[in-house]
Each structure stands twice: as C-alpha cells, then as structure tokens.
Amino acid sequence: MNTRYRKILDSIFRAPTTPTLPFAEIEALVLHLGGQVLERQGSRVKMLLGEPCWRCHRPHPGKEARRYQIEEAREFLLRAGVRP
C-alpha cells in the first residue's frame, strides 16, 4: 500500500475521529483495496469489499465525510479484515 492510501487508512482509524476527511478519499481507498463503489439513486452509494457491504449517502453540498460516516467506514473495513 502506498503512502497516500496508508494516510487515508490512518485517518479513518485515528482516535478521536477526524471530521476533515474527504468522502472521495474513502471511495478511493475501497477501490484501491479491490472493492467496488456502486452508484445508487440520488447521492446513495454502496461499497463492497469482499463479502461485507456498506450503504451510505455521499455528503453534499460539502465534500468532507461526516464523523459518523468515518466511524461506519472504520467498522466496514474491520468487517472486511482491513487493519491499520
């Protein structure tokens, strides 16, 4: 894993949760790990990483993921076996 994705992963697993992570970075990490990002209706997104899936809404009008979304992404990655 290169430095860019390592930093994104560290940001997701950082405590306390940082509210300044762009949502697109989470999507990029999932794609880098071999997952899929599927567009749904409106701003809905479904992310798959092996067996686990995560359904969420892409934030708008801002680009930063909200704190609860980062925490959900952390749980999603843990279920998929991804550790920092």
* 20-78 confidence digits (pLDDT tens): 999 999 999 999 999 999 999 999 999 999 999 999 999 999 999 999 999 999 999 99
Dihedral in degrees, nearest 10, Cα atoms 50, 70, 4, 40 = 50
Q: What tokens were used for 22?
A: 């762009």
State pTM to two decimals: 0.92
Task: Give yes or no for a contact between 49 and 77, defined as CB atoms under 8 angstroms apart.
Answer: yes
**Cis amide bond preceding 22, omega within 30:** no
Residue 19 scores a pLDDT above 90: no
Q: What is the pLDDT of residue 36?
A: 97
Residue 14: what pLDDT? 94
How far is the C-alpha of 61 from the C-alpha of 82, rounded, in Å?
30
Pairwise CA distance, residues 70 & 20, whole Å: 10
pLDDT given for residue 23 in this prediction = 96
CB proximity list for 84: less than 8 A, separation 6 or greater: 9, 10, 12, 13
Q: Is the pLDDT assigned to residue 84 strictly greater than 90?
A: no
